[in-house]
Protein backbone atom coordinates (compact mmCIF):
# COMPACT_ATOMS: atom_id res chain seq x y z
CA UNK A 1 0.00 0.00 0.00
CA UNK A 2 2.77 2.44 0.80
CA UNK A 3 3.82 2.73 -2.83
CA UNK A 4 0.39 4.15 -3.73
CA UNK A 5 0.02 6.46 -0.72
CA UNK A 6 0.92 9.57 -2.76
CA UNK A 7 -2.06 8.95 -5.06
CA UNK A 8 -4.47 9.26 -2.10
CA UNK A 9 -5.54 12.52 -0.43
CA UNK A 10 -6.31 12.44 3.30
CA UNK A 11 -9.95 13.46 3.91
CA UNK A 12 -10.42 12.63 7.61
CA UNK A 13 -7.90 11.74 10.28
CA UNK A 14 -8.68 10.69 13.83
CA UNK A 15 -6.85 8.82 16.57
CA UNK A 16 -8.30 5.43 15.54
CA UNK A 17 -9.38 5.84 11.90
CA UNK A 18 -8.32 7.66 8.73
CA UNK A 19 -10.04 8.12 5.38
CA UNK A 20 -8.28 8.90 2.10
CA UNK A 21 -9.56 9.24 -1.46
CA UNK A 22 -7.86 8.70 -4.78
CA UNK A 23 -7.58 6.47 -7.83
CA UNK A 24 -11.37 6.39 -8.14
CA UNK A 25 -11.93 4.97 -4.66
CA UNK A 26 -11.38 5.25 -0.94
CA UNK A 27 -9.01 3.87 1.66
CA UNK A 28 -10.49 3.45 5.14
CA UNK A 29 -7.84 2.65 7.76
CA UNK A 30 -8.31 1.28 11.25
CA UNK A 31 -5.09 2.47 12.86
CA UNK A 32 -5.45 0.51 16.10
CA UNK A 33 -5.92 -2.81 14.26
CA UNK A 34 -3.42 -2.06 11.49
CA UNK A 35 -6.02 -2.87 8.85
CA UNK A 36 -7.26 -1.08 5.77
CA UNK A 37 -10.31 -1.40 3.50
CA UNK A 38 -9.59 -0.50 -0.14
CA UNK A 39 -12.93 0.52 -1.62
CA UNK A 40 -13.26 0.54 -5.41
CA UNK A 41 -16.05 0.40 -7.98
CA UNK A 42 -19.46 -0.47 -6.46
CA UNK A 43 -18.03 -0.56 -2.93
CA UNK A 44 -16.65 2.97 -3.42
CA UNK A 45 -19.97 4.25 -4.75
CA UNK A 46 -21.88 2.75 -1.82
CA UNK A 47 -19.29 4.07 0.64
CA UNK A 48 -19.50 7.60 -0.80
CA UNK A 49 -23.29 7.61 -0.40
CA UNK A 50 -23.10 6.21 3.15
CA UNK A 51 -20.34 8.65 4.13
CA UNK A 52 -22.14 11.71 2.73
CA UNK A 53 -25.42 10.70 4.39
CA UNK A 54 -23.76 10.16 7.78
CA UNK A 55 -21.82 13.45 7.52
CA UNK A 56 -25.06 15.28 6.65
CA UNK A 57 -26.99 13.72 9.54
CA UNK A 58 -24.17 14.17 12.06
CA UNK A 59 -22.13 17.23 11.04
CA UNK A 60 -20.68 17.73 14.53
CA UNK A 61 -19.26 14.22 14.83
CA UNK A 62 -15.49 13.88 15.05
CA UNK A 63 -13.69 11.86 12.34
CA UNK A 64 -13.34 8.80 14.59
CA UNK A 65 -17.08 8.78 15.33
CA UNK A 66 -18.04 8.92 11.65
CA UNK A 67 -15.45 6.44 10.45
CA UNK A 68 -16.05 3.98 13.31
CA UNK A 69 -19.76 4.03 12.48
CA UNK A 70 -19.01 3.21 8.84
CA UNK A 71 -16.41 0.58 9.80
CA UNK A 72 -18.72 -1.25 12.22
CA UNK A 73 -22.36 -0.62 11.33
CA UNK A 74 -21.65 0.12 7.68
CA UNK A 75 -19.86 -3.19 7.35
CA UNK A 76 -16.74 -1.82 5.69
CA UNK A 77 -14.53 -3.45 8.28
CA UNK A 78 -15.36 -6.81 6.66
CA UNK A 79 -13.52 -5.66 3.53
CA UNK A 80 -10.32 -4.81 5.41
CA UNK A 81 -6.98 -6.55 5.10
CA UNK A 82 -3.87 -6.19 7.20
CA UNK A 83 -1.86 -3.20 6.03
CA UNK A 84 0.84 -4.32 3.65
CA UNK A 85 -1.26 -7.17 2.19
CA UNK A 86 -2.10 -7.03 -1.48
CA UNK A 87 -5.68 -5.80 -2.01
**pLDDT per residue as tens digits for the range 5-54:** 668 999 999 999 999 999 899 999 999 999 999 999 999 999 999 999 99
Q: How many domains does the chain have?
A: 1
Give the C-alpha separation, 38 to 36, whole Å. 6
Q: Vertex 32, ends 43 and 81: CA angle to 5°?
A: 40
pLDDT on residue 84? 74
In 1-87, which residue ranges form alpha helices assigned H by DSSP?
A: 41-57, 63-72
Cα within 13 Å of Cα(16), Cβ side? 12
Rounded distance between C-alpha atoms, residue 78 and residue 60, angstroms = 26
Whether pLDDT at 1 is above 50 = no
Query: Is 73 among the domain residues?
Result: yes
The answer to whether residue 24 is domain-embedded is yes
Domain boundaries, position 6: 2-78
Amino acid sequence: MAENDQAFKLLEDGDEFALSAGQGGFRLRNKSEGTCAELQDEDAERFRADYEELRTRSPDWAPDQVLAQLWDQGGYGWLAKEEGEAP
